[in-house]
Amino acid sequence: MDFSAIDALKARLDAKRPLPPELVRNLGAVFRVDWTYHSNAIEGNTLSLLETKLVLEEGLTIGGKN
C-alpha cells in the first residue's frame, strides 16, 4: 500500500468525524483484545484470540492453560 492509498483512507475516516461515542468504545474494546492477544503471542502464550477475549471480558480461566 502506498502513501496515496493511506491518505485516501485517512480522508474517508476524517469525513465521518466525529465518530459516535459508542463506536469509539467498541473500537477501544476490539483493539484491547487484539493487542493483548498479539502481545501475549509474541511472549509465547498459546491462548487463541477468542480465549484471550473471554479472559479479558469475562474473567474466565481456560482449562489446561496458565
pTM for the whole structure: 0.73
Domain ranges, ordered by start, for the chain: 20-66
Rounded distance between C-alpha atoms, residue 6 and residue 11, angstroms:
9
pLDDT in tens, 45-59: 999 999 999 999 999
Q: Which residue, among 2, 51, 56, 10, has the nearest Cα to 29 in the 3D structure?
A: 56
pLDDT in tens, 10-35: 999 999 999 999 999 999 999 999 99
